[in-house]
């Protein structure tokens, strides 16, 4: 039973050919019993296309029926992945006021076209205006100032003032996920996600994250392309958008993208994390990925790397699959950030690793390595090699990227913690 008329919008998709067409309609309605119900139906004109591709081949297969869900406030995973996350929502709320945003559809319609993946949203059965204007890398100083303005919680400027002009810059790129300040910028090489420092950071987060992305590559992990820019004496991390390809004429080709949360059919809440599992994700790659053998082995290396650097925020939204064409593949690794903690005996990742649950240690990593396509001996050799690289290079890479001795001291406990080499207890040690 519902309490109001459902809100709805048309969903457009950019096909691998580059053509943008309507693919379906999404509606969301509040239930009198609490919560929301979402409905999605593919347009017949889309289903009849020979080049049609599903937005989610398993959650929303290309079929003639109405799909329904009450999970995640009635928003299907593949649609939620295209919605603004914490920082983007904060910017939209500052601009429009929270009272103007009644449902998730309002956030979808009021976010710019920098969103993840190949979907767009419109109230009308015609695509939203093509937006080719993105902030430039040269705008980074102004963008950082605007981000600090929003971070401070001040009112969104309404008048034609320099402050309003700064805030308008944020409106061009507010859709990307995560809670930290960020924006999308463009240069001759394509689109980049600019990640800014925050007041109160314990260490230079952009510098350390850049070092970890490079360290991951040294360990054999496919990490996202990136670089650092100096802005007003502070480092800003630019991460290349792997769901966008810039053509010679400056136009952008978009790839479909879904988070591991969608692939796992998982819940966002840490209190309902029964599907938060590298093991289940490896199994899902068997049916999602065009090269499941390689992607499962890549996932194992990422899991090991996260354990070695104590990246304890490796939740399902921090992994993704992309489909530039028809086939899906594991996306490059991103958001690789150490989490220094006091415990020397045990660190837990966000996702289940093996028989010992989330415990980030060697025995647990080996306990289910066959699920990733490794024998125990080969997996052990991979772990040993990566551990040696991390131990030898983490400090130097932070310093090489501009990190100070204070940054090194603040993050040191994340690396080479003694509990990593503990044996897994007979009962698995899960908790």
DSSP string covering 30-98: EBTTSSEEEEEEE-HHHHT-TT---SBTTTB-S-SSEEEE-GGGG--HHHHTTS--HHHHHHHHHHH-G
Which of 56-65, 194-203, 248-257, 268-277 is most confident? 56-65
**Strand 135-136, strand 182-187: pairing:** parallel
**200 and 291 assigned to the same domain:** no
**pLDDT at 332 exceeding the cut of 60:** yes
Output 269 or 358, whichever has higher pLDDT: 358
Contact 88, 175 (CB under 8 A): yes
* Per-residue confidence (pLDDT) for residue 72, from 0 to 100: 86
274 CB burial (10 A radius; 0-12, 13-18, 19+): exposed
Contact 222, 347 (CB under 8 A): no
* Per-residue confidence (pLDDT) for residue 139, from 0 to 100: 66
* Per-residue confidence (pLDDT) for residue 156, from 0 to 100: 55
* Per-residue confidence (pLDDT) for residue 13, from 0 to 100: 95
Question: How would you list the strands of the sheet with 182-187, edge to edge?
Answer: 135-136, 182-187, 190-195, 234-240, 226-231
Among the listed residues 385, 381, 313, the one whose alpha carbon sits nearest the alpha carbon of residue 349: 313
* Per-residue confidence (pLDDT) for residue 126, from 0 to 100: 75
Which are the contacts of 258, defined by CB distance < 8 A and separation ≥ 6?
56, 77, 78, 81, 117, 320, 321
Question: How would you list the strands of the sheet with 256-259, edge to edge?
Answer: 256-259, 320-323, 329-330
**76 and 97 assigned to the same domain:** yes
**171 and 278 assigned to the same domain:** no
CATH number at residue 157: 3.30.200.120
Output the CA–CA distances (angstroms, integers) from residue 196 to 3, 140, 151, 204, 390, in the order listed.
41, 9, 11, 10, 25
Confidence bin at 5 (pLDDT 50/70/90)? low
**225 and 158 assigned to the same domain:** yes
Mean pLDDT computed over 142-168 = 58
**273 and 336 assigned to the same domain:** yes
Task: Specify the length of the chain in residues.
Answer: 431
**284 and 392 assigned to the same domain:** yes
HSE (side-chain half, CA atoms, 13 Å) at 303:
35
Which are the contacts of 103, defined by CB distance < 8 A and separation ≥ 6?
7, 28, 30, 36
Confidence bin at 414 (pLDDT 50/70/90)? very high
**394 and 347 assigned to the same domain:** yes
**228 and 360 assigned to the same domain:** no
Burial track 2-32 (b if 16+ CB lie within 10 A, e otherwise):
eeeebbebbbbbbbbeeebbbbbbbbbbbee
**pLDDT at 345 exceeding the cut of 90:** no
**pLDDT at 389 exceeding the cut of 70:** yes
**pLDDT at 412 exceeding the cut of 50:** yes
* Per-residue confidence (pLDDT) for residue 164, from 0 to 100: 46
* Per-residue confidence (pLDDT) for residue 169, from 0 to 100: 46
Q: Is 12 helix (H, G, I), strand (E, B) or coil?
A: strand
Domain end call among 207, 240, 273? 240
How many structural domains are present in the chain? Answer: 3
143 CB burial (10 A radius; 0-12, 13-18, 19+): buried
Domain end call among 91, 122, 153? 122
**391 and 292 assigned to the same domain:** yes
**pLDDT at 239 exceeding the cut of 90:** yes
**pLDDT at 43 exceeding the cut of 70:** yes
CATH number at residue 279: 1.10.1070
Residue 428 lies in a domain: no
* Per-residue confidence (pLDDT) for residue 175, from 0 to 100: 47
Return the CA Rg of the chain. 22
* Per-residue confidence (pLDDT) for residue 165, from 0 to 100: 44
Residue 249 lies in a domain: no
Contact 329, 321 (CB under 8 A): yes
Q: Residue 150 corresponds to which tokens in the numbers above?
A: 């929003």
Residue 326 lies in a domain: yes
Confidence bin at 158 (pLDDT 50/70/90)? low
Residue 216 lies in a domain: yes
Mean pLDDT computed over 320-337 = 95
Domain end call among 184, 214, 240? 240
**pLDDT at 23 exceeding the cut of 50:** yes
Domain containing residue 382: 254-421
Residue 17 lies in a domain: yes
**306 and 403 assigned to the same domain:** yes
Residue 313 lies in a domain: yes
Q: Measured on CA atoms in the order 253, 125, 105, 315, is the torsion positive or negative?
A: negative
**pLDDT at 110 exceeding the cut of 70:** yes
Output the CA–CA distances (angstroms, integers) from residue 86 to 90, 195, 391, in the order listed.
6, 14, 34
* Per-residue confidence (pLDDT) for residue 355, from 0 to 100: 95
**115 and 142 assigned to the same domain:** no
Residue 426 lies in a domain: no
The reported pTM is 0.88
Output 281 or 138, whichever has higher pLDDT: 281
**270 and 378 assigned to the same domain:** yes
Q: Is 423 helix (H, G, I), strand (E, B) or coil?
A: coil
Share of the chain above pLDDT 70, in %: 82
* Per-residue confidence (pLDDT) for residue 130, from 0 to 100: 59
Residue 245 lies in a domain: no
Q: Mean of the per-residue pLDDT values for the chain?
A: 86
């Amino acid at each position: 039973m519902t309490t109001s008329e459902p809100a709805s919008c048309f969903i457009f998709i950019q096909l691998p050919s580059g053509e943008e067409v309507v693919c379906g309609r999404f509606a969301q309605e509040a239930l009198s019993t609490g919560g929301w119900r979402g409905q999605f139906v593919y347009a017949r004109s889309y289903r009849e296309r020979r080049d049609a591709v599903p937005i989610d081949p398993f959650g929303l297969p290309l079929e003639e029926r109405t799909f329904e869900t009450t999970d995640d406030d009635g928003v299907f995973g593949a649609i939620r992945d295209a919605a603004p996350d914490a920082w983007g929502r904060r910017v939209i709320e500052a601009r429009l006021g929270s009272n103007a945003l009644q449902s998730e559809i309002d956030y979808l319609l009021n976010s710019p076209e920098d969103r993840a993946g190949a979907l767009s949203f419109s109230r009308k059965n015609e695509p939203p205006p093509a937006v080719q204007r993105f902030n430039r890398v040269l705008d980074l100083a102004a963008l950082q100032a605007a981000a600090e303005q929003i971070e401070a919680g001040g009112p969104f400027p309404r008048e034609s003032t320099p402050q309003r002009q700064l805030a308008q810059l944020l409106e061009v790129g507010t859709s990307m996920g995560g809670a930290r300040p960020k924006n999308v910028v463009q240069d001759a090489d394509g689109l980049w996600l600019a990640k800014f420092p925050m007041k109160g950071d314990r260490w230079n987060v952009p510098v350390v994250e850049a070092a970890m992305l490079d360290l991951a590559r040294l360990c054999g992990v496919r990490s996202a392309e990136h670089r650092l820019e100096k802005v007003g004496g502070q480092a800003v991390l630019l991460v290349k958008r792997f769901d966008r390809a810039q053509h010679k004429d400056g136009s952008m080709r978009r790839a479909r993208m879904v988070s591991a949360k969608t692939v796992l059919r998982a819940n966002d809440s840490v209190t309902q994390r029964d599907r938060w599992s590298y093991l289940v994700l490896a199994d899902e790659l068997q049916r999602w990925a065009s090269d499941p053998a390689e992607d499962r082995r890549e996932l194992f290396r990422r899991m090991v790397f996260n354990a070695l650097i104590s990246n304890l925020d490796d939740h399902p939204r921090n992994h993704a699959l992309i489909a530039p064409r028809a086939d899906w593949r594991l996306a490059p690794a991103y958001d690789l950030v150490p989490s220094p903690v006091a415990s020397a005996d045990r660190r837990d990742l966000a996702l289940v690793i093996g028989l010992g649950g989330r415990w980030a240690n060697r025995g647990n990593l080996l306990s289910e390595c066959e699920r990733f396509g490794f024998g125990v001996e080969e997996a052990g050799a991979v772990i040993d090699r990566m551990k040696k690289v991390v131990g030898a290079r983490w400090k130097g890479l932070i310093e090489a990227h501009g990190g100070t001795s204070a940054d090194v001291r603040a993050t040191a406990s994340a690396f080479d913690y003694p509990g990593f080499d503990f044996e897994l207890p007979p009962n698995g040690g899960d908790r």
